[in-house]
């Protein structure tokens, strides 16, 4: 009996809260029959059952045609002064020369590793031009042109390539892993796309500090398949990070062509999905790259939110010195891009058309860089390596006790077998 | 003031240089215990530490999944209202994004305090923690660091958490140089250790035993105090056997020790507190005195952190050891639901291990 009473009371008790949902239901009955409000999206009802598909591909913005003539009538030709234009060209030539020499040095076994920029010179040099000195950069690895444009010297580049005691990274990482605090260039690491959420966080930090700067994040079309790509764009968009995402779509991720990397319209089309203004640009067109990057930079600051650029180009070189790209593409294809769509030649033609430059000047400049670089290579090879104590530092801010013990053990070992180890790494004074 | 102006002048770019002026005013636990105290539990102590961190460092930011409304364990309650949505905010559900975002903020000199909702879900961020956060300073030759980063995550058994709401993951990260790993055993410990973790110039993982969120209630000092990292605490001294654990396991071991004391065994109980870099000296000194060691932890036995401690102690204290080092740990299975009580290194298993060590 008591069970029944309790049960009834319970039921009655539950009647009261039931009133609330009923009222809510009544409220819904009175709404506009076409009200299509859901918390998850701003949408409308439709009677036609249709799957959404991209109907048009995103066009590629250009200023110069393949022969270096300005085809974009609205382009303001006065925005890049002569001295700057020549410097940009010289930096592309310098990058190209540097690549040729370091590639050969690797082939001769003088450096362990190198990655060239063939075909992407205008993309990397040009995108750095409109940036301010206090903009921060998080890059992938094929962006030495950015460093040259921001003022990194050949000496500093050699220090990293050869892991000398002058290397910022103290010889701990592979060649091509650059970093410079002075140039706002965060240290490169090998894991792909990991720098992308860093750039989102850094872009949010800029927003919080009220700075009118951007974080630029470089990455390739292959890296864009990583989960970190998704994480970073989504986080940057939802938090309003001042981050400019810059994709180098060069057609390949090592041997994998883009047709096996994604099925959508490249990388730019994904930006919309995250609510990020996005644009595609001809990465072989120096003037277009500069203009688009400048506008994107302004937009990033103005909107306090991310912007995405996809720069189209072609990776003419091997992926790296550990790769032979002839195994997955033809010589003719590479030659086509070198002859017909060469970013350096295109800008050179523009400069020649302006009467600012000659082919002979390119030749003599490259020759000059070549001899200087060769000298620096020979010098860097003989340069002392960082002191062995650097092996143990910077794991933490201070060396922890367990690592001190290991350092001591290594020194004791070297006292017996030191002659068995490389002689160009000094360990004098270590305990 | 002078320091910060000078710092701004010298640096165009942020690059994670930390001005630890905030920690200057912090007291030691002993000093703080003399002041005002409040009876609060572990989640409230965490909340209090976060509050102090946000108020003493205007570059401190708290974020993660659902932290805006107070967090699924109430650890961030009231913080968004107090400090605003720009400093305390929800993120999309992306653990790799949360940690990567934090590294980027730290790289520009901020103090990101990221939350991973359960330690079980830290694995999507494993790459960001191991390959990025841990190596950030080293690989850049100390040009930059992400030392401002702290990652908090609830860990450990909770009675009914099954596979993905119970795991202890410290062993995975202890294998990675460059990280600090901290696990508190109580409300007082949580507050002081968390403030140290936040202010430490290294990326730090702070695992909070979730079963203690409400059950560990103590008189916690109101003051801003810090408990040093890398230092174990001798919770109870004894002479027959050294017993080492961390987190919830310290309480389990305390009960096991009480049982053993009734048999006339004098146990020295040590709370390791910091898993990496761990306090080798305190454990070594204790074992040299007692000659016996029992290590217990919830995470699985094989390659669990107890293995590191056992191997180190037999190397350093070989001549002092009177019996084989005993490891009591979670079984080498995924964490089970209905078998939880059989799986865990409970007080009876620990008690038997203590007796084995002493009676060998």
Contacts of A154 by beta carbon, 8 Å cutoff, 6+ apart: A94, A98, A369, A372, A373, A376
A375 lies in some domain: yes
d(CA B179, CA B170): 11
Indicate yes or no: CB of B100 within 8 angstroms of CB of A197: yes
Residues of A in contact with B86 (CB under 8 A): 208
Are A289 and A194 found together in one domain?
yes
Indicate yes or no: CB of A168 within 8 angstroms of CB of B140: yes
Q: What is the DSSP letter of B348?
A: H
Digits of tens for pLDDT over chain B (360 positions)?
334 434 444 456 878 766 554 445 899 999 999 999 999 999 999 999 999 999 999 999 999 999 999 999 999 999 999 999 999 999 999 999 999 999 999 999 999 999 999 999 999 999 999 999 999 999 999 999 999 999 999 999 999 999 999 999 999 999 999 999 999 999 999 999 999 999 999 999 999 999 999 999 999 999 999 999 999 999 999 999 999 999 999 999 999 999 999 999 999 999 999 999 999 999 999 999 999 999 999 999 999 999 999 999 999 999 999 999 999 999 999 999 999 999 999 999 999 999 999 999
Are A268 and A400 found together in one domain?
no
Are A372 and A400 found together in one domain?
no
Are A404 and A255 found together in one domain?
no
Q: At what angle do helices A359-382 and A154-162 cross, to 10 degrees?
A: 40
Answer for the pair A122, A92: CB distance below 8 angstroms, yes or no: yes
CA angle at residue B350 from B211 to B191, to 5 degrees? 35
Are A410 and A267 found together in one domain?
no
Instruction: State the smallest CA–CA distance between residue A372 and chain B in angstroms.
Output: 27
d(CA A231, CA A236): 8
**For residue A255, which phi and psi values (nearest 5 degrees)?**
-95, -10
Q: In whole angstroms, what separates CA A19 from the centre of its chain?
A: 57
A11 lies in some domain: no
Query: And the tokens for B334?
Result: 């995924």
Structurally, chain A folds into a number of domains equal to 2
Question: Can you give the CATH number for the domain in which A91 is found?
Answer: 3.40.50.970
A371 lies in some domain: yes
Are A93 and A223 found together in one domain?
yes
pLDDT tens, position by position, B215-258: 999 999 999 999 999 999 999 999 999 999 999 999 999 999 99
Answer for the pair A274, A233: CB distance below 8 angstroms, yes or no: yes
Are A313 and A392 found together in one domain?
no
Domain spans, chain B: 2-226, 233-359
B233-359 is classed in which CATH architecture?
Answer: 3-Layer(aba) Sandwich (3.40)
Mean pLDDT of A117-142: 97
Q: Do domains B2-226 and B233-359 have the same CATH topology?
A: yes
In the residue annotation, B233 being an active-site residue is answered as no
CA-nearest of B135, B171, B208, B147 to B18 is B147
The yes/no answer to whether this complex scores an ipTM above 0.90 is yes
Are A416 and A295 found together in one domain?
no
A290 lies in some domain: yes
CA-nearest of B26, B35, B13, B27 to B55 is B26
Are A296 and A392 found together in one domain?
no
* pLDDT at residue number A55: 79
DSSP reduced 3-state for A257? strand
d(CA A76, CA A403): 60
pLDDT tens, position by position, B71-85: 999 999 999 999 999
Residues of B in contact with A173 (CB under 8 A): 139
**For residue B297, which phi and psi values (nearest 5 degrees)?**
-150, 160
CB nearest B131 (choices: A177, A191, A234): A191
Q: What is the DSSP letter of B325?
A: P
Residues of A in contact with B178 (CB under 8 A): 395-396
Q: In whole angstroms, what separates CA A78 from the centre of its chain?
A: 29
d(CA B56, CA B25): 9
What CATH number is given for B2-226 in this structure?
A: 3.40.50.970
A349 lies in some domain: yes
Query: What chain A residue is nearest to B142 in terms of C-alpha separation?
Result: A394
d(CA A191, CA B96): 13
Are A159 and A303 found together in one domain?
yes
A27 lies in some domain: no
Q: In whole angstroms, what separates CA A346 from the centre of its chain?
A: 24
A316 lies in some domain: yes
* Residue A305 domain boundaries: 60-382
Percent of chain A with pLDDT over 70: 93
Count CB neighbours of B311 within 10 A: 11
Contacts of B52 by beta carbon, 8 Å cutoff, 6+ apart: B195, B224
- Which helix H or strand E contains B113, and what residues bound it? strand B111-115
pTM, full prediction: 0.94
């Amino acid at each position: 009996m008591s069970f029944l009473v309790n049960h009834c009371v319970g039921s009655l008790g539950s009647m009261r809260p039931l009133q609330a949902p009923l009222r809510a239901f009544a409220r819904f009955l009175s709404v506009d029959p076409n009200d299509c409000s859901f918390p998850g999206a701003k949408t409308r009802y439709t009677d036609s059952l249709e799957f959404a598909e991209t109907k048009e591909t995103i066009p590629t913005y250009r200023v110069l045609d393949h022969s270096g003539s300005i085809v974009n009538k609205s382009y303001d030709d006065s925005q890049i002064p002569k001295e700057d234009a020549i410097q940009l060209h010289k930096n592309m030539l310098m990058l190209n020369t540097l690549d040729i020499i370091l590639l050969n040095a690797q082939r001769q076994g003088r450096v362990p590793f190198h990655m060239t920029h063939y075909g992407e010179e205008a993309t990397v040099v040009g995108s750095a031009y409109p940036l301010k000195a206090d903009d921060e950069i998080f890059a992938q690895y094929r962006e030495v042109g950015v460093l040259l444009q921001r003022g990194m010297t050949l000496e500093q580049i050699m220090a990293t390539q050869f892991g000398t005691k002058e290397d910022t990274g103290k010889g701990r990482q592979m060649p091509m892993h650059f970093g410079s605090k002075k140039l706002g260039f965060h240290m490169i690491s090998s894991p792909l796309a990991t720098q992308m959420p860093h750039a989102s966080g850094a872009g949010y930090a800029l927003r919080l500090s009220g700075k009118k700067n951007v974080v630029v994040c470089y990455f390739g079309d292959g890296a864009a398949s990583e989960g970190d790509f998704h994480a970073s764009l989504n986080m940057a968009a939802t938090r309003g990070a001042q981050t400019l995402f810059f994709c180098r779509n060069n057609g390949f991720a090592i041997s994998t062509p883009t047709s096996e990397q994604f099925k959508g319209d490249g990388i730019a089309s994904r930006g919309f999905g995250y609510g990020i203004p996005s644009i595609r640009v001809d990465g072989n067109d120096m003037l277009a790259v500069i203009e688009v990057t400048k506008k994107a930079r302004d937009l990033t600051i103005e909107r306090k939110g991310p912007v995405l650029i996809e720069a189209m180009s072609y990776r003419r070189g091997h992926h790296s010195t550990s790769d032979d790209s002839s195994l997955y593409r033809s010589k003719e294809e590479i030659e086509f891009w070198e002859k017909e769509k060469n970013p350096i030649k295109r800008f050179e033609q523009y400069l020649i058309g302006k009467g600012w430059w000659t082919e002979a000047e390119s030749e003599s400049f490259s020759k000059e860089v070549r001899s200087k670089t060769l000298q620096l290579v020979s010098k860097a090879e003989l340069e002392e390596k960082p002191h062995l104590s650097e092996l143990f530092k910077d794991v933490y801010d201070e060396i922890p006790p367990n690592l001190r013990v290991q350092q001591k053990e290594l020194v004791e070992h070297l006292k017996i077998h030191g002659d068995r180890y490389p002689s160009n790494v000094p360990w004098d004074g270590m305990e | 003031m002078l320091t910060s102006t000078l710092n701004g002048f010298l640096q165009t770019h942020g690059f994670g240089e930390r001005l630890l002026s905030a920690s200057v005013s912090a007291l030691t636990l002993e000093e703080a215990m003399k002041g005002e105290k409040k009876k609060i539990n572990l989640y409230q102590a965490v909340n209090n530490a976060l509050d102090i961190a946000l108020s003493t460092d205007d570059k401190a930011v708290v974020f993660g999944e659902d932290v805006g409304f107070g967090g699924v364990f109430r650890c961030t309650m009231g913080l968004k209202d107090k400090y605003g949505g720009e400093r305390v905010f929800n993120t999309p559900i992306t653990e790799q994004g949360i940690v990567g975002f934090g590294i980027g903020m730290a790289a520009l000199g901020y103090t990101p305090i990221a939350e991973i909702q359960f330690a079980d879900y830290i694995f999507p961020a494993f790459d960001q923690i191991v390959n990025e956060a841990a190596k950030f300073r080293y690989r850049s030759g100390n040009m930059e660091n992400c030392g401002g980063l702290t990652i908090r995550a609830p860990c450990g058994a909770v009675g009914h958490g099954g596979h993905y709401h119970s795991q202890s993951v410290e062993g995975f990260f202890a294998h990675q140089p460059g990280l600090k790993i901290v696990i508190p055993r109580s409300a007082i410990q949580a507050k002081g250790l968390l403030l140290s973790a936040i202010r430490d110039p290294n990326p730090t993982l702070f695992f909070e035993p979730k079963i203690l969120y409400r059950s560990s209630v103590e008189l916690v000092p109101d003051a801003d105090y810090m408990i040093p990292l890398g230092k174990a605490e001798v919770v109870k001294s004894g002479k027959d056997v050294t017993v080492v654990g961390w987190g919830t396991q310290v309480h389990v071991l305390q009960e096991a020790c009480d049982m053993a004391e009734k048999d006339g065994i004098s146990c020295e109980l040590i709370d390791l507190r910091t898993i990496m870099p761990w306090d080798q000296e305190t454990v070594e000194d204790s074992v040299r005195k007692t000659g016996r060691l029992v290590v217990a932890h919830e995470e699985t036995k094989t390659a669990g952190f107890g293995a590191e401690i056992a191997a180190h102690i037999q190397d350093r204290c070989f001549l002092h050891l009177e019996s084989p080092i005993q490891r009591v740990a979670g079984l080498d299975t995924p964490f089970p639901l209905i078998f939880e009580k059989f799986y865990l290194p409970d007080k009876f298993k620990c008690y038997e291990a203590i007796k084995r060590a002493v009676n060998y």
